[in-house]
Structure 1
Amino acid sequence: MTAAARGGKNGVGYFDFAFHGARIETPNGGVHHVRLNAFARQNTTERPYAVVNDFIASTLGVAAGLPVPPGNLIGLYGGGHGFVSMAFGERGDAAPPVIPPRFCQERPWEACGIIAFDQWVSNTDRHDRNLSYIADVGVAVFDHDLALINQYHPSGDAASALASDLDVECKSHCLAPHLVDVSFFPEWFDRIASVSRREIQRTVDICRSADLVESSLRDVLVDFVVHRQTRVRSYVDRTRLEYKKVSNWTLDLEGTNGGS
């Protein structure tokens, strides 16, 4: 394994292990102990499910093939858990925010995937600073603390919030007005539909094992994700007026992932 992993133009991105923001300690039998540059999220009073949202959405994004930086739950000193994801960039530099018109023109496949994914996990907070694109490196999709339980507040009920959002499409996506080609959507609908219920259950179960959700909320979360999974095409179709640059809307409600 090389010290640096470079995804090139395949959408994986560049996660710098060697030169900037990382430290490689003495190898043992060819295996290096690596200290990585990463970002950690914790819950806040205003967003008590931020860690759950980010971990579940990011894990499902990876399962569907989206270029989400690798991450996982970690135990925190003093108790509790956070969500840590690897930093994305080139040679240690901070990744620049995406420029939506350029991104949609140069990476329409990923753009369709990001929109479809955000509809799946009900992510209401996609903007230019939680997407990154480096032309010769790749794409990174991150920061999902306002997916899933995104309407919850301390005095509310998370299960009720999910119920109210169960079939609500996400509007005003930052990429939609700049997308010209929607022909890549069906592939992403199928990719999302291919994530098994077992994988969704496993991901949410990890949050239950970490005492981040109760058993009852775990079950509601699984049902929420599974319900929306086969209705992504419908959510995209409902927002077709936002795709102002698309002259030929080729999507319909028939076929794989049709939903209603």
Structure 2
Amino acid sequence: MTTTLAIANQKGGVAKTTSVASIGAAFAETGQRVLLVDLDPQACLTFSLGIDPEDLELSIYHVLTQGTEAADVVVATDDGVDLLPATIELARAEADLLTRTGREQAIKAALEDLVDDYDWVLLDCPPSLGILTVAALTAAQAVLIPLQCETLSHRGVGQLLDTVHDVRRFTNRKLEVWGVLPTLFDGRTNHARRVLDTISETYDLEVVEPPIPKTIRFAEAPAAGRSILATSRTSKGAQAYREVAATLQKRANRPARKRKA
């Protein structure tokens, strides 16, 4: 059975796209079949996996607004995951979908014939709480919230959880919150841990361990068009994402597959 997981936070700069690419690559390392969906008009996930959006004739925009089959848009990446890419055209999708009946179901409907080909579908939500994020939450079984470990970083978590509540009420009553993923974590200070404790207590959210450390290796990976698991395989950041992926696999009750020889 496919697990569709939305990675969402309307605040930028929280390593959301890095987390999608890295967790996806970690799943792929264990033999899982993975589809990543870029829902951000900035197309950062598409760029980071070595694909130039300007070279694409079709994107997730055409799937959502023009009825293009998702299977005709999927591209393979060097990280062993498939990608539904984005282009700047996606910025028009909010307006195009706004007047459509069932707009909240747009992503779920678009992926319906495709999801059974994968063990995991990871949705890289845009940094907003607009229709694309709502549609992603409607399509997902669960949501993971990446969060930078700084004092002001959790401002807006309440708004996101309000949106989750509304989605549960109106379009996806089974949506689960799998917790907060700490990113850009500086283990040399007590401050970051205090921030996590505050978030856990204030919002009653699970903190997914281990925290993702702050490292320059994350900035180097997109330039190579790969995830950190490919560019710095033995780094602390890569290993942290492998452990997070293992935690998520247990949460989904999905054992790792044996690698093919």
With structure 2 as the length reference, what TM-score do the two structures score? 0.30
> Higher helix fraction: Structure 1 or Structure 2?
2
Larger Rg: 1
With structure 1 as the length reference, what TM-score do the two structures score? 0.30
